[in-house]
Amino acid sequence: MTVLVWVDLEDGEPDGLSLEALTFGRGLATTLGSPLDAVVVGGDAPAAALGAYGVATVHAVRDDRLTSFAPAAWAQGIVDVIDATLPDAVLASGGDRGAEVLAHVAAKTGYALAANCTSVTPSDAYEVTRLRWGGSLLEEARLTGDVKLLTVAPHAVSASPAADAAAAPNVVDVTPNLSDDDLRVHVVRREEPEGGAISLADAKVVVGGGRGVGSAEGFADLDALAAALGGTVGVSRVVTSLGWRPHTQQVGQTGARIAPDLYIACGISGAIQHIVGCKAAKKILVINTDPEAPILSHADYAIIGDLKTVVPAITAELAKRA
């Protein structure tokens, strides 16, 4: 028996959420006394990077048609690995791509899938804790079946290499059994962010803005603060709905889920959908005129005041200390 983790690649290396899934999977494998395996699809296997996280064997699914994201086809590659190895459990990150690919795996195999898990206790049936209703409650559930499928809730664990990583893992090439239907949906084009832009996923500091910013022009102060802190700007859903900023900057249940060192929430009331996206931040500073705003219950620090005055004052003070 093995624990198998699907690893998504970004520029040829495991992405951050996949490293979290590997860390989660390694803990499960240790409890089971089983080896930890990984499967990658559509790219070269980064053996050294995966070995550092305790992976014993990498299953590299190779086909020229898999170079762009095709969820059903990528899932078929994972299914072929499952059929060949019969793992005890298959894990993926709970990000957008991981959730979609593993849902296809569940549909193809008929195995049960537990999504957005934060912990697991294996026995004849796995006892799992998972996020429900956008993270507003935790559910205790039992997962049964010959192969258990789980996605790991983003930022439920911190990615950490294995303390006793062994030699580079064995790499096994896999040729998937693809049908034309598997390839009907695939990515045909990607629009990259502007050069030099810091992504929400990578930013150590995120300055968030909500309806209280007042207008698209009002974000100039937030942009200046984010630049002074070496961070980037995120926004609430209402801001994108108003057309003030693009959806790519949205933080929340239907946007990005972030885990910066510091999240500065400016003029954001704190609806649960937004809290889902930012609650993994190590520290939260709230700037708001409303002392009763729901987001204050999640704040480590708060400034009750007008962001149009407070934000420029912070930026000016940072400039003095630069």
Per-residue pLDDT tens over the stretch 148-174: 999 999 989 999 999 887 678 999 999
Contact 187, 97 (CB under 8 A): no
The two tokens of residue 66 are 């898999």
114 strand-pairing partners: 150
- Residue 30 and residue 292: Cα distance in Å, rounded? 46
What are the residues whose beta carbons fall under 8 Å from the beta carbon of 313, sequence distance 6 or more? Answer: none
Give the lowest-confidence range in 146-155, 220-229, 250-259, 312-321: 250-259
Return the axis-axis angle of helices 307-321 and 219-228, rounded to nearest 10°. 30
**pTM for the full predicted model:** 0.82
pLDDT of 199 > 90? The answer is no
pLDDT-derived band at 201 (thresholds 50, 70, 90) equals: confident
* Distances from the Cα of 174 to the Cα of 43, 60, 85, angstroms: 12, 6, 12
pLDDT of 193 > 80? The answer is no
Contact 170, 227 (CB under 8 A): no
pLDDT at 194: 66
pLDDT-derived band at 196 (thresholds 50, 70, 90) equals: low
- Residue 31 and residue 122: Cα distance in Å, rounded? 8
Please provide residue 227's backbone torsions phi and psi, each rounded to the nearest 5 degrees. Answer: -65, -40
**Burial class of residue 173 in the structure, from the number of CB atoms within 10 Å of its CB (0-12 exposed, 13-18 middle, 19+ buried):** exposed
What are the residues whose beta carbons fall under 8 Å from the beta carbon of 305, sequence distance 6 or more? Answer: 287, 289
Q: Where are the alpha helices (DSSP H) in 115-177?
A: none
CA 285 and chain centroid, separation: 22
pLDDT-derived band at 197 (thresholds 50, 70, 90) equals: confident
Q: Report the SS3 class of residue 251.
A: strand
Per-residue pLDDT tens over the stretch 287-322: 999 999 999 999 999 999 999 999 999 999 999 987
* Beta strand extents in the chain (DSSP E only): 3-6, 9-10, 13-14, 36-41, 55-61, 89-93, 113-121, 126-132, 137-143, 148-152, 170-174, 205-209, 232-235, 262-266, 283-288, 301-304
**Do the bridges between strand 3-6 and strand 13-14 make them parallel or antiparallel, or are there none, so unpaired?**
unpaired
pLDDT at 213: 97
pLDDT of 267 > 70? The answer is yes
